[in-house]
Amino acid sequence: MFDAFMKLAQESARQMQDAHARLLQAVPAAAALPAKAASPVEALGAIAPVQKLNAYHGIAQNMLARQARLLQDLWTLAARPQGDVSLVAEMLQLQQAIFQRLASQQAEAMKEFMDILSGAGHIRNANTVSKLMEEEYDFFAQLQALATAQATACMELAETAQVNAGYLISRRVPGK
């Protein structure tokens, strides 16, 4: 299973590198070269989409490396002849805390969503097209802000769970 996970991580990293290479090839070098750039690759490194891609690539590599270490430590513990009941209890507590936090986030999001829908139904006081467009834009901006906040909260929860599980497991691995 560990080998399968490592192959998956390597394949994901390879796909990200391929996408990065395709992006570098797709942007015309002459149009993107700043005055002081030594090469097209250096010039493309200064372009915002490439910087974002590099940032995502680095973050994804760090997350995959953390997950690989976590799985390696978990397999190390699983191979030990004696079981660790306290680890199981702590992991169950962590899982319960994660589910409670997720349920709380979902309940809060649903309340905010209903507030947005309720407000959208009462606002229709526009007497011009420009005012109507402004109200519609505000409605969709609120929905986008809610979706962004929920996606961010879920990713923060996932990252926190990964770090906490890694901490609980690494404390019990000999030599760490």
Instruction: List pLDDT tens digits, range 69-91.
Output: 888 888 888 777 777 788 888 98
Among candidate residues 93, 88, 58, the one with its CA nearest the CA of residue 74? 88
Domain check: are 22 and 109 in the same one?
no
Length of the chain: 176
Selected residue with higher pLDDT from 54 and 156: 156
Domain final residue pick, 24, 51, 79: 79
Q: Are residues 19 and 67 in the same domain?
A: yes
Q: Which of 18-32, 35-49, 58-72, 93-107 has the lowest mean pLDDT?
A: 18-32
Of 144, 123, 148, nearest in space to 134 by CA? 123
Which pLDDT band, with edges at 50, 70 and 90, does 172 fall under? confident
Are 109 and 103 contacting, i.e. CB atoms less than 8 angstroms apart? no
The amino acid sitting at 103 is A
Q: 44, 79, 114: which is the final residue of a domain?
A: 79
Residue 18 sits in the same domain as residue 72 = yes
Residues 62 and 39 in one domain: yes
pLDDT the model gives residue 141: 94
Inform me whether the pLDDT recorded for 33 exceeds 50.
no
- Claim to verify: residue 174 and residue 150 sit in the same structural domain: yes
Looking at the structure, do residues 96 and 136 belong to the same domain, yes or no?
A: yes
Tens of pLDDT along 133-167? 888 899 999 999 999 999 999 999 999 999 999 89
Q: Do 7 and 75 fall within a single domain?
A: yes
Give the span between the Cα atoms of 52 and 35, in whole angstroms. Answer: 22
**Tokens in use for 144?**
């986008």
State whether 114 and 52 are in the same domain. no
- CB-side neighbour CA atoms (13 Å) of 71: 13
Confidence band, pLDDT 50/70/90 cuts, at residue 5? low
Say yes or no to pLDDT of 30 above 50: no
Q: What residue numbers bound the domain in which 52 lies?
A: 1-79
pLDDT band at 8 (very low <50, low <70, confident <90, very high): low
Confidence of residue 44 (pLDDT cuts 50, 70, 90): low
Q: Which long-range contacts (CB under 8 A, 24 or more apart) does 143-146 make?
A: 143/113, 143/116, 146/109, 146/112, 146/113, 146/116
**12 and 91 housed in the same domain:** no
Last residue of a domain, one of 17, 51, 79: 79
**112 and 174 belong to one structural domain:** yes
Q: Is 137 helix (H, G, I), strand (E, B) or coil?
A: helix
Number of domains within the chain: 2
Average pLDDT, the chain: 79
174, 93: one domain: yes
175 plus 113 within the same structural domain = yes
CA distance 2 to 71: 7
Buried b (16+ CB within 10 A) or exposed e, 129-140: eeeeeebeeeee
- Weakest-pLDDT range from 23-32, 49-58, 138-147: 23-32
